Structure 1
Amino acid sequence: MRSSKKRYDAEFKRGAVRLADNSEKGDSAIERELGLYQGAIRIWRKALRSDPVDAFPGTGHMKPAEEEMRSLRRELEEVRQERDILKKAMAIFTKDR
């Protein structure tokens, strides 16, 4: 039987880190109390320190900067394809002259 992986939302992660930071207990004790895997709070704390606003974008979601980069790359590819089509069309139409 396959066990499903637990997923925690951003607020839970922020709360767990806040609890660990304000508690006299160690991270591992807090992780046991909350039923988390070992090292979860350390990983979440590191993510919060590196990017406090967009630390936990969610499963399948990208950070806004990554989303914009993906969109721009897609748009660039479309523009390149349009350019190549126009080049070929120009070559075809000017060939007969």
Structure 2
Amino acid sequence: MSKRYSAEFKRDAVSLACSPGRNVTEVARELGISSEGLRGWVRQARIDSGQGPAGAATTDEKAELARVKRELAEVKKANAILLKAAAFVCPERKGAAGVGR
């Protein structure tokens, strides 16, 4: 079961892991978190600061993509409802203009 950590906790953990003389495994053990989880946070922090690989999505970009995907799903659902309503109200036009697809 995954735990949710605050942005502040993640930021502090990344800061500790990136400090000189420290490594991710050691810091993760001290904080009682997964070393792989902390490695992911460190990797994402580097991407967010512009030090990641070319084309890697920042946290803000990932959040925007998730928002757009949710919005698209909502629009698709509304469209499906409208198509069903149109087919019910105008059954003779079922095949016209994409109604009933």
TM range (shorter): 0.5 to 0.7
- Is 1:30 the counterpart of 2:27 in the alignment? yes
Unaligned runs of 5+ in 1: 56-61
Unaligned runs of 5+ in 2: 48-55, 94-101
- Corresponding letter in the other structure for 1:37: S
Following TM superposition, the consecutive aligned residue runs of length 4 or more in structure 1 with deviations greater than 4 angstroms are: none
Cα distance in structure 1, aligned partners of 2:11 and 2:75: 35
- For CA contacts below 8 A with separation 6 or more, give which structure has more relative contact order: 1
**TM-score (normalizing by structure 2):** 0.59
**TM-score (normalizing by structure 1):** 0.61
Q: 2:14 aligns with which of 17, 25, 32?
A: 17
Q: Deviations over 1:39-95 (max 9, x none)?
A: 33212112332544449xxxxxx82321222122212221232133223422359xx
- The answer for the alignment partner of 1:73 in structure 2 is 73
Larger Rg: 1
Q: 1:43 aligns with which of 28, 40, 58?
A: 40
- Corresponding letter in the other structure for 2:89: A
Cα distance in structure 2, aligned partners of 1:11 and 1:51: 21
**CA root-mean-square deviation:** 3.0
- Corresponding letter in the other structure for 1:81: I
Whichever structure has more helix as a proportion of its residues is 2
